[in-house]
Amino acid sequence: MRRPIRMPAPQSPQPITHYENFPVASWLCPAQLRAPIAAIYHFARTADDIADEGDATPEQRLHTLQAYRQDLVATSAAANSGATAHEAPPVSTQWPQVFGPLGVALRTHHLPTQLLHDLLDAFEQDTRKSAQAQGYATHAELLDYCRRSANPVGRLLLHLYGVTDDLALQRSDAICSALQLINFWQDLSVDIPRGRYYLPQEDCTRFGVSQADILAQRQTQSATNLIASCVATARASMQFGSELVHQIPGRAGWELRLVVQGGLRILDRIEALRYATLNQRPTLRWWDFPVMLWRAVWM
């Protein structure tokens, strides 16, 4: 195990520059929560990039993710030790820009670290499945992946907002799983060539879509019907969760409205393409944002 060194933890996470379908730690977010939210985002985004970007082998990706997890363990232990940031707690030597701000968030807000480990579990699973060209047998299995790849982020945010009731957690999970599913159906043309298969086999069988069609990215009528069904399921999940916007106080609730509307707008874009995302990747344009804002006002 690499030995962390002692250095001051940076107080401000890096700015968010990666393309997203929704706002992250924007000006709508309460000022005192922007830093911990950005820290959580950068932790998840960096791990996702380790698992997904570049030309590393699966073994190298898993090795790097293991080192990343060790830094999470070390940072969490330092945060729980009672030491203050001024006492220079140990942080990562390889990812100080991630674990410095995350350590401050853990120390200040007592974030549940198991949710962060769940995210890493999901990224490791993605790496292994891609290496073996494996998909998901059932929709339930895919949702279990979403439980670890997406739902922890929503629960971490609810923790920061002080919202902990069961219905809020269910609605948060519905929104986060929907966002993950929407990302899958948006990115089919990108993920399939990279060996990532998220269309459940049981659904492919039900709609008469063969594995050969998926691998060849043939937009048959059966494939179109399958993707349309997947989009409808994601939309229903988002609509169930959308009532959470009324439970989140102040400006944070408005940011969540835009998150929900961003996901729904991507579904609109998929529908406008007649569900032909095996060959095209829809994205949001500047003119989508006034539509999202108008819809957010009337939620």
**What is the model's pLDDT at position 89?**
55
pLDDT band at 5 (very low <50, low <70, confident <90, very high): very low
The pLDDT of residue 4 is above 90: no
pLDDT digits (tens, 9 = 90+) for 149-191: 999 999 999 999 999 999 999 999 999 999 999 999 999 999 9
Mean pLDDT for 43-63 is 94
Cα dihedral: 292, 297, 298, 299 (round 10): 80
* Percent of the chain with pLDDT strictly greater than 90: 79
Mean pLDDT for 16-24 is 45
**What is the model's pLDDT at position 54?**
87
pLDDT digits (tens, 9 = 90+) for 95-128: 999 999 999 999 999 999 999 999 999 999 999 9
Mean pLDDT for 257-262 is 94
Instruction: Tell me how far CA of residue 289 lies from CA of 40, 110, 179, 250, in angstroms.
Output: 25, 34, 17, 21
Q: Which of 4-8, 62-66, 177-181 has the lowest mean pLDDT?
A: 4-8
Q: Is 237 exposed, middle or buried (0-12, 13-18, 19+ CB in 10 A)?
A: buried
pLDDT band at 296 (very low <50, low <70, confident <90, very high): very high
d(CA 156, CA 158): 5
2 vs 54, more confident: 54
Contacts of 232 (CB under 8 A, 6+ apart): none
Q: What is the pTM of this model?
A: 0.87
CA end-to-end distance (rounded Å), the chain: 50
Angle at the Cα of 298 from the Cα atoms of 292 and 299, rounded to 5 degrees? 85
**What is the model's pLDDT at position 85?**
56
The mean pLDDT value of the chain amounts to 89
58-79 vs 96-109: helix crossing angle, rounded to 10? 40
- For residue 7, the Cα-to-chain-centroid distance in whole angstroms is 29
**In this structure, what token pair is assigned to residue 79?**
């945060």
* Percent of the chain with pLDDT strictly greater than 70: 87
Instruction: Tell me how far CA of residue 185 lies from CA of 52, 209, 242, 276, in angstroms.
Output: 17, 15, 20, 10
The pLDDT of residue 274 is above 70: yes
d(CA 26, CA 32): 12
pLDDT digits (tens, 9 = 90+) for 215-226: 999 999 999 999
* Cα torsion 295, 22, 198, 70: sign: negative
The pLDDT of residue 2 is above 50: no
Mean pLDDT for 66-79 is 95
139 vs 81, more confident: 139
* Cα torsion 83, 85, 88, 94: sign: positive
Mean pLDDT for 264-271 is 97
Collapsing DSSP to helix, strand or coil, 38 comes out as helix
Instruction: Tell me how far CA of residue 157 lies from CA of 171, 194, 228, 255, in angstroms.
Output: 13, 31, 30, 12
**What is the model's pLDDT at position 83?**
62
Instruction: Summarize the chain as % helix, strand, coil (round to 5).
Output: 70, 0, 30
The pLDDT of residue 24 is above 60: no
